[in-house]
Amino acid sequence: MVFVTFSKLAKTKELKQHFSKGRDEIEKVLDSLQEVLKKENIPI
């Protein structure tokens, strides 16, 4: 949510893209962590 908020508040197009890219990367990491936790039968 932090990256979403920052991307909406950013004044330049470059900053908006930077925060959007950061959000996408964090989503990838969280998805992979959830897969590992689920595979190891660890509650999320």
Q: Say if 34 falls within a structural domain.
A: yes
Low-confidence ranges of the chain (pLDDT < 70): none
25: Cα separation from own chain's centroid: 5
Asked if the structure places residue 25 within a domain, the reply is yes
| Residue pair 26/3 in contact by the 8 Å Cβ criterion | yes
Query: What was the pLDDT predicted at 1?
Result: 80
Domain interval for residue 10? 2-39
In a domain, 17, yes or no: yes
pLDDT on residue 2: 82
DSSP letter (8 states) at residue 8: H
Longest Cα–Cα distance in the chain = 43
Domain count within the chain: 1
In a domain, 44, yes or no: no
Query: Residue 7's pLDDT is what?
Result: 82
Asked if the structure places residue 14 within a domain, the reply is yes
